[in-house]
Amino acid sequence: MSEHRQILLVSGPNLDLLGEREPAIYGSETLADHVARAAKEAERHDLALRHVQSNHEGELIEAIHDARGWAVAIIINAGAFTHTSWALHDALAAFDPPVVELHLSNPAAREPFRHTSVIAPVADGVIAGFGGLGYSLAVEAVARLLEASS
Ligand code: DQA
């Protein structure tokens, strides 16, 4: 059996509350629903997915450091850390393979504090505003980036 190359999907603070949290903005699907969708798309591309969610910045940073040893790409929805965490920025800068920034909503169309992403400068691209569909689009983007670099 061939070992599938693995993507790390990183979910930041408050995303564990998806399904209950502000459904008018984030929809009624849970994080588990989104992860399942991403995993299914990964399988379609002969890739596998590992997922980590944490409300703690340091745990997310440790997960990114760990991924340096095995992940072929990172997809990250950093939640509100997107707008504040230079520490996550630096951790991602130390990760060479592709990075895709992901959001359910479109932060650029929301409050001004969401208009800045400190993740975007260290990402290959950003997928935002497509709700749960973004999870499969992000995996597809990774697959295309990996294909283009092989
Ligand atoms: C979010 C957008 C962020 O601004 C917000 O803080 C989140 C979720 C999104 O997926 O739309 O927690 O990352």
Which pLDDT score is estimated for 48?
Answer: 98
Helix segments in the chain, DSSP class H:
23-26, 31-44, 57-67, 86-93, 133-148
Q: Which of 89, 113, 111, 110 is nearest to 101 (CA)?
A: 89
d(CA 18, CA 43): 24
Q: What is the pLDDT of residues 79-97, one digit of tens each?
A: 999 999 999 999 999 999 9
Residue 126 and residue 120 in contact, taking contact as beta carbons nearer than 8 Å: yes
CA dihedral sign, ordered 13, 17, 18, 21: negative
Q: How far is the CA of 150 from the centre of ligand 1 (A)?
A: 32
- 13-49: pLDDT as tens digits: 999 999 999 999 999 999 999 999 999 999 999 999 9
**Confidence label for 4 from pLDDT (cuts 50, 70 and 90):** confident
1 pLDDT band, cuts 50/70/90, is very low
Token pair 């520490």: residue: 87
**How remote is the C-alpha of 48 from its chain's centroid?**
14
Record: fold of 3-149: Rossmann fold (3.40.50)
2 pLDDT higher than 60: no
Band of residue 3 on the pLDDT scale cut at 50, 70, 90: confident
CA of 57 to the centre of ligand 1 (A): 15
Amino acid at residue number 131: G
Active site annotation includes 135:
no
> Is the whole model's pTM more than 0.95, yes or no?
yes
User: What ranges do the domains of the chain cover?
Assistant: 3-149
The sign one gets for the Cα dihedral 143, 53, 56, 109 is positive
pLDDT tens digits for 105-136?
999 999 999 999 999 999 999 999 999 999 99
Cβ-contact 41, 139 below 8 angstroms: yes
Segment 54-80 shows an average pLDDT of 98
45 catalytic per annotation: no
- Ligand 1 binding pocket, CB closer than 6 Å: 14, 77, 79-80, 82, 103-105, 107, 114
Identify the active-site residue in 26, 51, 89, 135.
26
Residue 31, helix vs strand vs coil: helix
Confidence of residue 150 (pLDDT cuts 50, 70, 90): confident
Distance 103 CA to ligand 1 centre (A): 6
